[in-house]
């Protein structure tokens, strides 16, 4: 698969630094929807510079350019999309076990909502591999709702979740802004899931199929609220992950202390057993002179009860 001139990590940093706040929301109206459809056809057919288009956000235009450089066919993305082998996907699920354990119940809590409103709620990992999905729709592409697909920009081109991955920002997109034609009838909102250091853990994405000729329905701005909803859900997952990690860290420290105490107890018992077999009087003391251990002969010499040796200081006998 051909690669763009710049590296992906460089693209990520550049994208995050230059991504303006207004990138979160597209301009939306029936005319703009149809204009962007025309821009897309023009770009694919005539290779025009999409950055010159009036209603196309610069970040979307740049992503279109990269998508074409990746060799993605917008009419047949199956040529570049990749489904992981079962063993590979099993490893990905294992790697993201904590994320899934926290995100899945929260997503399932909204199952009735997404099922009843023609939405699809996706969870992707940090590499845009689809991990979990809730919902269904009546689109011609509903059969493609499978997990285990690599759905990043290099695989399927410009998409809401791919740009959320690159920008680490919540993003709302209308259909024709996305590179592949099978996404042109969707309105999507995506939000990153970040750890306390700002590193990407995954992406949540909510997509709604608008049906044929969605520009005739005048519903675009009604879906802006989904960006706030998906962002709130992502933040809830982030907070749950932080709590879980704090608890696991506390458990680790507790287990380490217990192991250390068990080791010290075993060492002490071993020392006591060793001292009991020595005929000479032997004691061990700390830096202040406090008697820590001693055998029976030492107790006899000091005329002390062996059980009370540790209550005395060696300097009291000198």
- Does one domain contain both 70 and 201? yes
pLDDT given at position 244: 76
In this structure, is residue 283 part of a structural domain?
yes
Residue 234: HSE in the Cβ half-sphere, 13 Å Cα cutoff = 32
- Does one domain contain both 221 and 259? no
Query: What digits encode the pLDDT tens for the residues 260-296?
Result: 777 777 776 776 666 666 677 777 778 888 888 777 8
- Does one domain contain both 117 and 199? yes
- Does one domain contain both 192 and 119? yes
pLDDT given at position 171: 92
pLDDT given at position 22: 43
Domain boundary among 227, 246, 265: 246
pLDDT given at position 94: 96
- Does one domain contain both 89 and 154? yes
For the chain, list residues with pLDDT below 50: 1-12, 14-23, 143, 218, 221-222
pLDDT given at position 230: 87
- pTM of this prediction? 0.69
pLDDT given at position 119: 84
Q: How many domains does the chain have?
A: 2
pLDDT given at position 245: 73
- Does one domain contain both 114 and 260? no
| Mean of all residue pLDDT scores within the chain | 81
**Per this entry, what is the length of the chain?**
318
In this structure, is residue 312 part of a structural domain?
yes
Domain holding 297, by residue range, is: 253-317
- Does one domain contain both 155 and 295? no
- Does one domain contain both 91 and 208? yes
CATH number at residue 272: 3.30.450.20
SS3 24: helix
């Amino acid at each position: 698969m051909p690669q763009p001139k710049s590296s992906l990590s460089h693209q990520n940093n550049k994208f995050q630094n230059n991504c303006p706040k207004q990138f979160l929301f597209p301009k939306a109206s029936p005319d703009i929807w149809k204009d962007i459809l025309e821009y897309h056809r023009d770009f694919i057919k005539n290779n025009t510079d999409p950055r010159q288009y009036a209603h196309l956000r610069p970040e979307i235009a740049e992503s279109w350019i990269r998508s074409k450089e990746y060799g993605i066919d917008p009419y047949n993305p199956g040529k570049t999309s990749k489904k992981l082998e079962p063993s590979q996907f099993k490893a990905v699920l294992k790697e993201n076990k904590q994320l899934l354990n926290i995100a899945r119940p929260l997503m399932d809590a909204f199952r009735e909502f997404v099922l009843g409103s023609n939405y699809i709620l996706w969870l992707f990992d940090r590499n845009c591999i689809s991990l979990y999905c809730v919902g269904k729709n009546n689109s011609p592409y509903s059969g493609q709702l499978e997990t285990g697909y690599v759905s990043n920009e290099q695989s399927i081109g410009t998409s809401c979740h791919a740009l959320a991955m690159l920008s680490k920002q919540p993003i709302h997109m209308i259909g024709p802004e996305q590179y592949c034609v099978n996404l042109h009838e969707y309105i999507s909102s995506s939000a990153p899931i970040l750890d306390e250091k700002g590193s990407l853990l995954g992406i949540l994405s909510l997509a709604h199929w608008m049906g044929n000729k969605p520009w005739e329905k005048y519903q675009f701005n009604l879906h802006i609220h989904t960006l706030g909803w998906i962002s709130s859900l992502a933040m809830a997952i982030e907070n749950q992950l932080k709590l879980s990690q704090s608890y696991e860290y506390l458990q680790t420290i507790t287990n380490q202390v217990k192991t250390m105490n068990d080791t010290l107890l075993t060492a002490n018992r071993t020392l006591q057993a060793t001292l009991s077999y020595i005929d000479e009087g032997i004691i061990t003391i700390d830096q202040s002179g406090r008697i820590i251990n001693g055998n029976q002969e030492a107790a006899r010499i000091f005329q002390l009860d062996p059980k009370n040796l540790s209550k005395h200081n060696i300097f009291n006998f000198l």
